[in-house]
Structure 1
Amino acid sequence: MNAPRRKPSSTTSGLVLIDKPQGWTSHDAVARTRRLANTRKVGHAGTLDPMATGLLILGINSSTRLLTYVVGLDKEYLATIRLGAATTTDDAEGEELTRAPAGAIDALAATAITAGIRALTGDISQRPSAVSAIKVDGKRAYARVRAGEDVELPARPVTVTEFELVSSTPVDAFLDLEVRVVCSSGTYIRALARDLGAGLGVGGHLTSLRRTRIGPFGIADADPLDQLDVGRAMIGPADAASRLFDRFDLDEQQAIDLSQGKRIAAPAGAVDGGPVAAVDPHGRLVGLAEYRDGRAKSIVNFPPDAPPAAPTDSADTAEPEASAEPAASAEAGAAS
C-alpha cells in the first residue's frame, strides 16, 4: 500500500496579525497557525494571558527574525479596572485578598481617581505581578507561586505614555473604570490596576484587557483566529520591515552585494544607525542594514522564499508538531 502523500511544508514568510480570543493562550494561537500555515517555524512577539484578547503578532518562517524588533515596541490597551477589591493575581482570575469597607467606593472623589491615574503616568517604577512569566533563579514566577512560594519581584522602570479614563460604572459594591493605556514594552496592566486601587486605599484588579496596537500594527488589521486565512492575512517581509524601519531601495548589484555580506554605499544624507529595510528592485526584503560612515552593511539577511515543493510519498517524513513555541519574548501575563 502506498503511503499517503503529504503536503510539503510551506516556506512562505511574513507577519500575521491575530485577534486572539479570550480563553486561548498565545501558545494555542501559535500551534493553530502552524497547522494553518503548514510550517513549524512560527513565533510570536509578546504573549497575552488567556483572559486577554486582542492583537498578537506572529512571524512565519524567516520573518520570525523580525519579531526581535517587534517585541520592544510601544503598545496600546483597552482595559477594565475594578476598584474595591484586591486579588492574588491582580486580575479577576485570582482569589480575593481584601475588599474595601462599605461606603469607601461611594466616598471616592473623581478628583482622587484622576490624581491616582496621573501618578501612574510617565516614567514610573513598577513591581510586576507575582504570577508573571519573569524568571526567578531559572524558574517562572507564576510556577513558584503555584508551588506555594511567596514571590515578590523587584520593581523596574517602565513608561506609561498615556493613561486615559474613558468611563466609570458602579457595579454592586465596586467601581469599574474603562481605561486606555499606551505604554512601553514590559509594562503590566494588571500592576497598574493593583497600584491604582492601592493608592486610592480601596484595592483594585483587572477584569478585562484588550491589546489594540503594537507599534505601527493595529487591531483593525488583525483577523479573528477562527477565521484566519494565513495566505490572505500575511504581511510580506518587505512590507512588514518597511512599516518598522526606514526603507533603503537597492539596485540589482547592491542587492547582490549586500546579500553576500559586502558593504555598499549608503544613500545620500544617510545618518549613522539602523536598522533600515533593504529592499531589492523586485520588492523582496534582502535584509536589515545599518549605516556607518557613508556605507551600509547587512545586520540580518532574509533568504528568498523557496518555490513550492512537490508532495512527498513517505509518511515517515512528516514533521511532528512541536511541543514548545519559539516565542520571541519572555513577557507574559497582562503585560505589554
Structure 2
Amino acid sequence: MAEPGILLVDKPSGITSHDVVARTRRARGTRKVGHAGTLDPMATGLLVVGVEHATRLLTFIVGLDKTYLATIRLGQTTTTDDADGDIDVRASAESVAEATEERIRDGVAALTGTISQVPSAVSAIKVDGRRAYDLVRAGEDVELKSREVTISRFEIVSITREADHIDVDVEVDCTSGTYIRALARDLGSALGTGGHLTRLRRTRIGEFAVDSAFSVEDLEDASLVAPAEVASRVLGSLDVSADEARDLRHGKRIDAPERFDGLRAAIDPSGALVGVVERRGSAMKSTMNMPQVER
C-alpha cells in the first residue's frame, strides 16, 4: 500500500484536475487517489490531493474558504466566461471609456459580502444527473439556480487600460462554491462592458497555501502531509489515550475529555489519527475512523 497522506499540488494551466489525479495514481502506485475542489483547465494553483485512506479527509477540506488571484477583462464576453471560450460580444470603445476606475471600484464593492450568485452555465454542476457543461456543449439551454456565497475580500490589485478593453487584477477571499468566472461576468454586466476571466490562480484552501505545493513533475517524490496533521489543521485536535482510541475505533461512545463544538481530530499517544469525533452531550463518538497502521 502506498503511504497515506495529502499532497499539495500546484496545478499548471492546460490540464484538468482529473489529469492530476491520474498522474498521482501512476506516481504513487495506487488507484486510491482523489482531490478536493476542481480547478478548470485554464486555472492554475493549489489542488489538494488525497492518497490512500487520507482520501477520507477530503470531505472536510472541500468546503473550506479559498483565495484566488485573477484577471478580469472588461470589454469582452466569451462563451465560457473565461479565456477558454470564444469571444461572442465586444463592447464599444465608448462603453469601455465609460467604465471609469470609480465605477469599477463601485462594481467590485457591490459584489463584496454575502451575495446571490448564478454559477456559470459552463460549470461542473449537475442538472438532472448531467454536468452543466456537457448540456451546453450538446446545444441545450441551461439555467442554473442562484446560490448564496460570501466574498469576504474582493481587492483590486491593478487596473490596466487598452483601447478596447480593461484588465483588472484582483485578489478574492470567498466561501466554497463561489465561481470567480461569475464574478467577472457580473462585474462586466453591471458596467455595461461585459467581462470574462483571462487568468485564475488558487493560492489558498483553508490553512493550506500554494507556497507549500509541489509541481506535477515532482509527484513521485513530493512529501505528503500526514493525516493527523491535516485533520488537526482543519478541525483542531483532541488527544486521547490508547484505551480511548481503541474504544473509538470500535465505535463506542466515550466521555469527552473536554468541551468542544463541532468536529475534532482524535489523536492517539503515538501521534496517529484515530478518526474524526463529534461531541454528543458529555460523550463523544467517532463519525469517521481511519485504519490503524502499524508503526
Aligned to 1:325: none
Which residue of 125, 129, 139 corresponds with 2:130? 139
Quick one: distance in 1 between partners of 2:49 and 2:168?
31
Matched, 1:275 2:263: yes
Matched, 1:117 2:105: no
CA-to-aligned-CA distance 1:312-334 (integer Å, 9 cap, x gap): xxxxxxxxxxxxxxxxxxxxxxx
Unmatched tracts of structure 1, length 5 or more: 1-9, 308-336
Which residue of structure 2 aligns with residue 246 of structure 1? Answer: 236
Given candidates 139, 156, 181, the residue that maps to 2:147 is: 156
Q: What do you get for the CA RMSD once the two structures are aligned?
A: 1.3
Q: Which moved more, 1:93-102 or 1:63-72?
A: 93-102
Corresponding residue for 1:200?
Answer: 191
Distance across 2 between alignment mates of 1:274 and 1:256: 22
Mapping 1:34-45, distance limit 5 Å: 34-45=25-36
1:221 corresponds to which residue?
212
| Alpha-carbon distance in structure 2 between the residues aligned to 1:157 and 1:275 | 24
Letter in 2 for 1:237: P
Q: Match of 2:169, SS?
A: strand
Percent identity between the two aligned chains: 57
Output aligned runs, 1:26-105, within 5 Å. Answer: 26-105=17-96
Cα distance in structure 2, aligned partners of 1:163 and 1:229? 36
1:26 and 1:96 map into 2 onto residues whose CA distance is 25
Question: Structure 1 residue 274: deviation in Å?
Answer: 2.5
The answer (yes or no) to whether the contact 1:77–1:213 under 8 Å persists in 2 is yes
Contact 1:247 1:276 (8 Å CA) reproduced: yes
CA offset at residue 86 of structure 1?
A: 1.0
| Paired letter, 1:250 | V
User: What is the aligned counterpart of 2:281 among 284, 293, 297?
Assistant: 293
TM-score (norm 1): 0.85
Deviations 1:137-163 (A, max 9, x none): 111111111111121212111111110
Q: Corresponding residue for 1:178?
A: 169
CA contact (8 A) 1:15 1:59 kept: yes
Q: Number of aligned pairs?
A: 295
Residue 106 of structure 1 and its aligned partner are, at CA, apart by 2.5
Structure of higher RCO (CA pairs closer than 8 Å, 6+ residues apart):
1
**Paired letter, 1:124:** I
CA distance in 1, matches of 2:14, 2:131: 21
CA contact (8 A) 2:24 2:220 kept: no
Q: Give the CA deviation at 1:103.
A: 3.0
Alpha-carbon separation, structure 2, partners of 1:125 and 1:150: 21
- Contact kept? 2:71, 2:197, Cα under 8 Å: yes
Q: Does the CA-based 8 Å contact 2:107-2:190 persist in structure 1?
A: yes
Which structure has the bigger radius of gyration? Answer: 1
Give, in whole Å, the separation in 1 of the partners of 2:11 and 2:171: 19
Structure 1: how far apart are the matches of 2:160 and 2:293? 52
User: What is the DSSP-based 3-state SS (H/G/I as helix, E as strand, rest coil) of the residue aligned with 1:130?
Assistant: coil
What SS class does the counterpart of residue 104 from structure 1 fall into?
A: helix
C-alpha distance in 1 between matches for 2:276 and 2:90:
52
Aligned equivalents of 2:79, 2:2: Cα separation in 1:
44
AA aligned to 1:169 is T
- Following the alignment from structure 2 to structure 1, what is the Cα–Cα distance between the partners of residues 280 and 132? 41
